[in-house]
Structure 1
Amino acid sequence: MTVAVYLPLLLAPLLALAARRISTRGTPDLAARALAVAAVVAAAASTWSLCLLALTLLDDLPPLATLDDHPRIELPEPVPGAIALTAVLFLVWSLIRLRADLRRRLDTHRKLREVAKPHAGLVVADWDAPLAVAVPGRPGHLLVTTGMLRLLDDDERRAVFAHEHAHLAYRHHRLVAWTAAAAALNPLLTGVRETAEFLVERWADEDAATTVGDRALVAQAVARASLATSGSGPTTMLGMHGGQAVHRVRALADGAPSPQRSRFLPPILLTGGILGTTAVATIDFVDLARAWL
């Protein structure tokens, strides 16, 4: 097997770097969708590469192992056994990480849904901690605490509610879940997951600004909510919190963004390269399997 089998693993950090570059320019909705697709493709490709490496251990099992000492048959040795074994361990570790992330995400959503039964799509929790979050479900609803309501005036509340409704309307929890799953399978994609989480918040900010018709108001609500919630609560929640609030406020102050589709060229090329090297690695393994058989 050639170096192609390793490239899907090695290209993931470059995708994370490209994600950071496109997060600062253009519309966040296009960027978030593009990164989610790229992350899933990269995670699937890297996992498949690990599977191919792990499958090379088959030559150490009967009946192939019995042919190693055959005087007239020389089986190809694709990769060292230590590398193949390491690939197996990484696969097991990745699956454990994926299961843990999925369980944590589902538990969080379940606990939020169990707070109270929503009325008109809203739950007001009598908690001092300031929190406003979109709770996925069928249908989804908003959860806001009395601490958050006391913190904001009427106009800021409208901005916060518009932000959370955007999360529900565009099903941002699914996009975040897919990128989180990709990062669980391949930790080198953690930067892509973090960027996608930031972009869905920016997406909701832009949608809220359009809904209320006042970018400055949304920026003010984001700043006030972030100051109250900085350093608290899970950052994976789709809600108003302190994560990267400075960048969000600055983006709202800069005016409505333009698409700038040219910024997607690096991640598109990287994704194409990942798919291409995965195809080459698969062909190499098929040739190897034919030689074994």
Structure 2
Amino acid sequence: MIWLTFLPAGLTLALGVVLGVAQLPLHPAWSARLLATVAATTVVATIGTLVFITVNYAATLFPRAAGQLPEWALFGDDQPVPAGLGIPAIALTCLSVLTATRLSSRWAAEVRDARRTSQEVVESDVPLALAVPGRGGEVLVSRGLLRMLDGTQLQVVFQHEASHLRHRHHRYLALGALAAGTLPLLRSLNTRLRFALERWADEDAAEAVGDRTLVAHTIAQVALARSSPEPAALPFPAFTDSGVVQRVQALLATAPDKNTITGPVILAGAGLGTGLLASAAWQLDHVLGLTFL
């Protein structure tokens, strides 16, 4: 078999791990897009590699059936895949599929429950605001939040949640949750993605109300009033979710550059590079014409 087949998955996974700890000098909007893109391509490259090895191991076990498979689905050197590699690949492929199915089912159920709840104010003293995705989008708020904030502060909250809905941040969250669930090494990347999405909505709210200090104070006030932190596994962002202290500090500082040139360039470069790696994950040996171990 071609050991270079592992290269695309290894490179994208390494990049995902690095982005999970590195500070990105980009506007939160571009940071979130970059992190989500790398999360998606890493999952595709890694799962694709596992499936590729699984198919080739099955061809090793059943050589007659292998003749029915297209050439691109098989390693170029026709060498048998050892059981020490094939069996773990089968197990990890099945585990990844089960994990993705479980996460998707839980996500759908939680979104349905939130949509039903968002039709009315939540009768709770805990200050809470959530952006609930769906047709038109909804914002779920609690009675405690409405009592605690004045009209100007409520505008901050609704502008923040409107940003989540307008930019469909729930899709980014779904990608991050899927990546972290199937590839534990990407949990830090998922954490940074959630933070970047909150910062993106913070900056949109600050631009809409024209007062960064007001947004910072509102976030801090709501966070301090909560008796418990936001659940880490929410399928959609809450107003005080992810890194409140860092978000307040960022809002009290100068507004970040919007990276109108560097942002698209970096995102396009990363997307093209990791996308090519992900597409090559299934047949790198055929792409490069290599036949060595």
If the length of structure 2 is used for normalisation, what is the TM-score? 0.82
- The one-letter amino acid paired with 1:38 is V
Query: Aligned runs of 1:144-159 on 2, under 5 Å?
Result: 144-159=141-156
> 1:241 — aligned with what?
240
Distance change (3 Å), C-alpha of 1:225 and 1:94: same
| Contact kept? 1:39, 1:189, Cα under 8 Å | yes
Query: Aligned runs of 1:1-293 on 2, under 5 Å?
Result: 1-11=1-11, 12-23=13-24, 25-57=25-57, 58-63=59-64, 76-115=78-117, 117=119, 123-229=120-226, 230-236=228-234, 237-260=236-259, 261=262, 268=269, 272=273, 275-276=276-277, 279=280, 282-284=283-285
Work out the CA distance in 1 between the residues paired with 2:118 and 2:40: 34
What secondary structure is seen at the aligned counterpart in 1 of 2:257? coil
What secondary structure is seen at the aligned counterpart in 2 of 1:36? helix
Alpha-carbon deviations, 1:191-215, whole Å to 9, x = none?
2222111111111000000111100
- The one-letter amino acid paired with 1:243 is S
**Bigger CA radius of gyration:** 1
| Contact kept? 2:48, 2:281, Cα under 8 Å | no
What is the root-mean-square deviation of aligned Cα atoms in Å? 3.0
How many percent of aligned residue pairs carry the same amino acid? 33
Q: What is the CA distance between 1:21 and its match in structure 2?
A: 2.5
What secondary structure is seen at the aligned counterpart in 1 of 2:117? coil
If the length of structure 1 is used for normalisation, what is the TM-score? 0.82
Structure 2: which 5+ residue stretches go unaligned? 67-76
| Contact kept? 1:140, 1:168, Cα under 8 Å | yes
| Contact kept? 1:133, 1:164, Cα under 8 Å | yes
Work out the CA distance in 2 between the residues paired with 1:3 and 1:277: 16
Work out the CA distance in 1 between the residues paired with 2:95 and 2:28: 32
Work out the CA distance in 1 between the residues paired with 2:191 and 2:265: 18
Matched positions, count: 274
> 1:72 — aligned with what?
none
Work out the CA distance in 2 between the residues paired with 1:15 and 1:147: 39
- The one-letter amino acid paired with 1:253 is L
- The one-letter amino acid paired with 2:214 is L
| Contact kept? 2:17, 2:189, Cα under 8 Å | yes
What secondary structure is seen at the aligned counterpart in 2 of 1:127? coil
Structure 1: which 5+ residue stretches go unaligned? 66-74, 118-122
Q: Could you list the runs of 4 or more consecutive aligned residues of structure 1 that deviate by over 6 angstroms after TM superposition?
A: 285-288
